[in-house]
Chains A and B, each alone.
Chain A
Amino acid sequence: MIKLSAFISGLIFGLGLLLAGMANPAKVLAFLDVVGAWDPSLALVMGGAIAVAVIPLNWARKNKQSLLGVPMQLPMKRELDGRSQGASATPDVRCCPCQRRTHISAPRSGSPSW
């Protein structure tokens, strides 16, 4: 059953990408080219996806098991370690898991690695 749901999920995901026009690299590039002839479609793809997924994913966050009884395997890492924020040009970001709050400050020279 979990194998079937995995396959169906992938299939729906792929059909969504095709319908959204996101199988075409030129359309993705047109979203990233904000000073050229800008195509904002990708923002609507993300908006549509988040609007549908926000309730199920928050339900998942609060539950230890899926509806089919397998353990939830959500990423547990909460801290912003700088890796997912990319290279040196990003601002100095730290997250306090205890306060569930993120501090963002300007990059400093010689700041410790994160």
Chain B
Amino acid sequence: MSIDWINFTPWTSAGGGALIGLAASLFVLANGRIAGISGLIGSVMQFGSEGWSEKALFLLGLVIAPLLWGAFTLLPEIEIKAEWPALIIAGLLVGVGTRYGSGCTSGHGVCGISRLSARSITATMCFMFAGFATVYVIRHVVGA
């Protein structure tokens, strides 16, 4: 294991994380809801479901964020190496996986761990481990 010190961004990442924590806190304190992005998207896809407008507004804020950011400063660089068919398949797998696992990095990893849910702590360890294993196989076994 070697740390990529050039790309490692401890301060902005911890600061960005604190903003995510602030957003999750505001959403639960004001709206009484968990800021789990996969769950929110899942609910908004079911038009007219419980709390639809609140959830849609959260997601609207989320997608407007880059526009607000871009109005003041340069947007961070985004690197996507995969071709679009791979992205569609990857997106579908993320969707199926997060619904099957009842949550993603935001719902289980941030909100669930914060409320000390054994279920979420276990889920986060499992999907992180699965992620490490998948990238290892793709990059260092298949792609070696």
Contact = CB atoms under 8 A, between A and B. Distances in A.
A80 B117 CA distance: 10
B48 interface: no
Name the residue in B33, B63, B116 with the highest tally of chain A Cβ atoms < 10 Å from its Cβ. Answer: B33
Interface in A51-83: 51-54, 56-61, 65-68, 70-75, 77-80, 83
Given A10-B57, A38-B2, A45-B16, A75 B79 contact: no
Dominant secondary structure at the B interface: helix
B53 A72 contact: no
Interface size class of A (residues with CB under 8 A): 35 or more
B20 A66 contact: no
Contacts of A56: 24-25, 28-29, 114
B111 A57 contact: yes
B135 A29 contact: yes
A19 B22 CA distance: 13
Interface of B: 1-4, 7-10, 12-35, 37, 51, 53-55, 57-66, 68-69, 75-81, 97, 100-103, 105-106, 108-120, 122-123, 126-128, 130-132, 134-136, 139-140
A88 to B, nearest CB: 12
The 9 closest A-B pairs by CB, nearest first: A14-B65, A20-B16, A48-B17, A10-B61, A52-B21, A16-B19, A19-B16, A11-B61, A56-B25
B76 A18 contact: yes
8 contacts: A9-B24, A15-B19, A23-B78, A54-B116, A66-B30, A78-B117, A85-B126, A100-B118
